[in-house]
């Protein structure tokens, strides 16, 4: 049996105080990769929390410039070591190395790190607000303590707990990170953390600014997110595990940001199908099967109105699903989860149009699967029929009319996204105007005539949404600078001398930070 890999705790790689070990799988072969990783015990996690809390105090002296330079140096080092990192990520995730990992996900990852650096340096995230008559000033500043980051399985780089969106946001805000690697890609996380530590050393930052553990048991995980010395938690993953952590963090008054589940309803109205049905069948099939459907924003429900164009569309999608290759799933748990979810949907009244077979492709896999249900049946059992089936699957709901399509929208839980396709000629506008206001408040991002799978890293992006998509509808996990504010506390300075203020709030504003001064956004100085 191979020796367990080391953890990165308190600034050094060292043997874990392990309560056990685990081996990740290669999903393409369904066999273990041969590496062994430790399950950290409580003492080790408590030590990481304490080291992060100390680093949180020390880091202030390096904020923002030192922190920004660390993020940039780290991004450079990831690029310099891209081949090794991508190769490991491909082995652990089964995702295609050249197209997906090297060409898309790695540049996205380093881009996010550099955007977070820029947000820290320019103060764009911290909303500096100054009222001169009362001499009261405020901004967002790093909250106290480290941030625990639990990354998901589906983006081994761009949402990795030590390089992804939550990591970039927490560090960019000035918070140390305790990364809890996703169990399906611990090796990728290890290689990334090695680069992070070297970048910290090169910049002279507290080395405990980035720590990495691989797994804990449930009780120790609960301690991590609720400890008095932890600042906050970012979690992306399964709903059940997330809600268990949420209950513990909430009870301790510790912020926890969760991305839990989303079925991302798509309405395709009759006029749009009439205008461009074939092309919509292409777009939908491509979006739904991309990456074997393993995106948080995968279109898991399509609402259609009964009629001939809908019948044709369903047939066209069915043909495409049957013709498309079956992708490899990220992990054994995804294959079994998808099997269970499809069974649950069928038990709730959905009928299989195609697919439904586990192990239909290379490695962990599930055949491309379509289900359908009438609007009336959905309305009889809306909760079970919103079971998330994470993977290459979608459920078509065929409503009798616009009234029923609206009723369906009223029954949706909170989602990350919702889409409406309508005719360019305006023939769907009445239906749009009735459905859109209902769908709007159920989703974080409303799309028109566009599939939800792409998530641009731009300031206006919202990768969030009402519960249970996330834990709070006011925050986004993607989109800089907004994502940094999750890890800030609102910090007001009342009658504090200019030289004691943080740079962003002083009268002189040599960096040209955008500030709300007496109610007006300005990049200039404030008269002394």
Kindly list the catalytic residues.
259, 296
Among 309, 386, 444, 526, binds a second copy (CB under 8 A): 444
Nearer to a second copy, 24 or 468 (CB): 468
DSSP E strand stretches across 27-105 = 31-32, 37-40
Q: Could you say whether residue 275 binds a second copy (CB under 8 A)? A: no
Min dist CB 167 to a second copy, Å, is 19
DSSP E strand stretches across 409-519 = 415-421, 443-448, 488-494, 515-517
Among 47, 79, 144, 198, binds a second copy (CB under 8 A): 144
Min dist CB 182 to a second copy, Å, is 23
Cα distance between residue 110 and residue 103, in whole Å: 12
In the Cβ-directed half-sphere of 230, how many Cα atoms lie within 13 Å? 29
- Residue 398's DSSP bridge partners are 304, 374
DSSP E strand stretches across 151-308 = 177-180, 210-213, 230-236, 256-259, 265-268, 301-305
Cα distance between residue 345 and residue 519, in whole Å: 52
392-421 binders of a second copy (CB under 8 A)? 414, 417
Query: 369-374 and 393-399 as β-strands: parallel, antiparallel, unpaired?
Result: parallel
Would you say 447 and 462 are in contact if contact means Cβ atoms under 8 Å apart? no
Q: Could you say whether residue 459 binds a second copy (CB under 8 A)? A: yes
Nearer to a second copy, 446 or 503 (CB): 446
Would you say 148 and 178 are in contact if contact means Cβ atoms under 8 Å apart? yes
| 80 C-beta neighbours (distance < 10 Å), count | 11
Among 219, 240, 510, 519, binds a second copy (CB under 8 A): 519
Min dist CB 248 to a second copy, Å, is 11
Q: Using CB under 8 A, which of the segments 176-184, 185-193, 269-277, 481-489 binds a second copy?
A: 481-489
The Cα-based distances of 480 to 31, 113, 524 in angstroms read: 38, 10, 23
Among 36, 121, 227, 445, binds a second copy (CB under 8 A): 445
Q: Could you say whether residue 66 binds a second copy (CB under 8 A)? A: no
Q: Using CB under 8 A, which of the segments 20-28, 64-72, 79-87, 457-465 binds a second copy?
A: 457-465
Among 207, 230, 432, 509, binds a second copy (CB under 8 A): 432
Min dist CB 132 to a second copy, Å, is 10
Q: How far apart are the first and last CA of the chain?
A: 68
181-240 binders of a second copy (CB under 8 A)? none
Q: Using CB under 8 A, which of the segments 212-220, 298-306, 358-366, 437-445 binds a second copy?
A: 437-445
Cα distance between residue 92 and residue 331, in whole Å: 9
Q: Using CB under 8 A, which of the segments 26-34, 269-277, 357-365, 436-444 binds a second copy?
A: 436-444
Q: Could you say whether residue 440 binds a second copy (CB under 8 A)? A: yes
Q: Could you say whether residue 383 binds a second copy (CB under 8 A)? A: no
Nearer to a second copy, 69 or 118 (CB): 118
Cα distance between residue 338 and residue 150, in whole Å: 22
Q: Using CB under 8 A, which of the segments 279-287, 341-349, 360-368, 438-446 binds a second copy?
A: 438-446
Among 1, 240, 494, 528, binds a second copy (CB under 8 A): 494
Cα distance between residue 3 and residue 70, in whole Å: 31
Among 57, 217, 311, 430, binds a second copy (CB under 8 A): 57
Token pair belonging to 299? 């279109």
Q: Could you say whether residue 461 binds a second copy (CB under 8 A)? A: yes
| 489 C-beta neighbours (distance < 10 Å), count | 15
118-137 binders of a second copy (CB under 8 A)? 124, 129-131, 133-134, 136-137
- For a second copy, how many residues bind (rule: CB under 8 A)? 75
- Residue 421's DSSP bridge partners are 268
Nearer to a second copy, 69 or 246 (CB): 246
Min dist CB 194 to a second copy, Å, is 31
Cα distance between residue 373 and residue 352, in whole Å: 9
In three-state secondary structure terms, 236 is strand
Cα distance between residue 313 and residue 309, in whole Å: 6
Nearest to 93 by CA among 24, 179, 174: 24
Q: Could you say whether residue 379 binds a second copy (CB under 8 A)? A: no
Among 4, 475, 504, 506, binds a second copy (CB under 8 A): 475
Q: Using CB under 8 A, which of the segments 91-99, 252-260, 306-314, 395-403 binds a second copy?
A: 252-260
Radius of gyration, CA atoms only, the chain: 24
């Amino acid at each position: 049996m191979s020796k367990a890999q080391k953890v990165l705790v308190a600034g050094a790689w060292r043997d874990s105080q392990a309560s056990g070990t685990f081996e990740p799988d290669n999903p393409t072969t369904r066999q273990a990769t041969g590496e062994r990783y430790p399950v950290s015990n409580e003492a080790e996690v408590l030590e990481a929390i304490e080291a992060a809390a100390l680093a949180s105090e020390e880091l202030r002296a390096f904020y923002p410039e030192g922190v920004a330079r660390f993020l940039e140096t780290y991004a450079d080092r990831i690029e310099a070591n891209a081949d090794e990192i991508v190769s490991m990520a491909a082995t652990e995730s089964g995702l295609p190395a050249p197209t997906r990992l090297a060409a898309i996900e790695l540049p996205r990852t380093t881009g996010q790190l550099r955007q977070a650096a820029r947000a820290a340096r320019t103060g764009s995230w911290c909303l500096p607000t100054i009222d001169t008559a009362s001499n009261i000033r405020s901004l967002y500043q790093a909250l106290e303590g480290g941030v625990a980051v639990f990354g998901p399985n589906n983006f081994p780089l761009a949402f990795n707990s030590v390089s992804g969106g939550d990591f970039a946001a927490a560090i960019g805000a000035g918070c140390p990170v305790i990364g809890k690697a996703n169990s399906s890609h611990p090796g990728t996380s290890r290689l990334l953390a090695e680069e992070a530590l070297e970048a910290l050393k090169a910049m002279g930052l507290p080395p405990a600014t980035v720590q990495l553990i691989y797994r804990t048991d449930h009780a120790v995980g609960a301690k991590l997110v609720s400890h008095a010395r932890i600042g906050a938690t970012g979690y992306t993953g399964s709903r059940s595990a997330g809600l268990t952590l949420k209950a513990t963090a909430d009870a301790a008054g510790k912020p926890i940001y969760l991305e839990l589940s989303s079925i991302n309803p798509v309405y395709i109205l009759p006029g749009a199908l009439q205008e461009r049905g074939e092309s919509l069948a292409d777009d939908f099939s491509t979006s739904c099967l991309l990456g074997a459907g393993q995106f948080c924003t995968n279109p898991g429900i399509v609402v259609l109105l009964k009629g001939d164009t809908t019948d044709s569309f369903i047939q066209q999608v069915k043909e495409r699903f049957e013709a498309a290759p079956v992708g490899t799933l990220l992990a054994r748990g995804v294959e079994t989860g998808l099997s269970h979810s499809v069974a649950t949907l069928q038990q709730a009244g959905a009928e299989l149009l195609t697919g439904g077979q586990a192990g239909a492709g290379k490695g962990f896999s599930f055949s491309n699967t379509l289900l359908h249900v009438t609007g009336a049946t959905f309305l009889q059992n809306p909760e079970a029929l919103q079971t998330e089936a994470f993977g290459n699957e979608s459920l078509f709901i065929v409503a009798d009319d616009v009234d029923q399509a609206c009723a369906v929208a009223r029954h949706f839980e909170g989602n990350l996204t919702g889409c409406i396709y309508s005719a360019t000629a305006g023939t769907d506008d009445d239906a749009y105007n009735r459905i859109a206001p209902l769908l709007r408040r159920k989703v974080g991002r409303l799309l028109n005539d566009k599939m939800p799978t792409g998530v641009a890293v731009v300031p206006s992006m919202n990768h969030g949404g009402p519960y249970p998509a996330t834990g709070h509808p006011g925050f986004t996990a993607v989109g800089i600078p907004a994502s940094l504010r999750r890890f800030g506390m609102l910090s007001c300075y009342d009658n504090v001398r200019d030289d004691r203020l943080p740079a962003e709030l002083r009268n002189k504003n040599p960096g040209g930070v955008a500030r709300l001064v007496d109610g007006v956004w300005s990049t200039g100085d404030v008269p002394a």
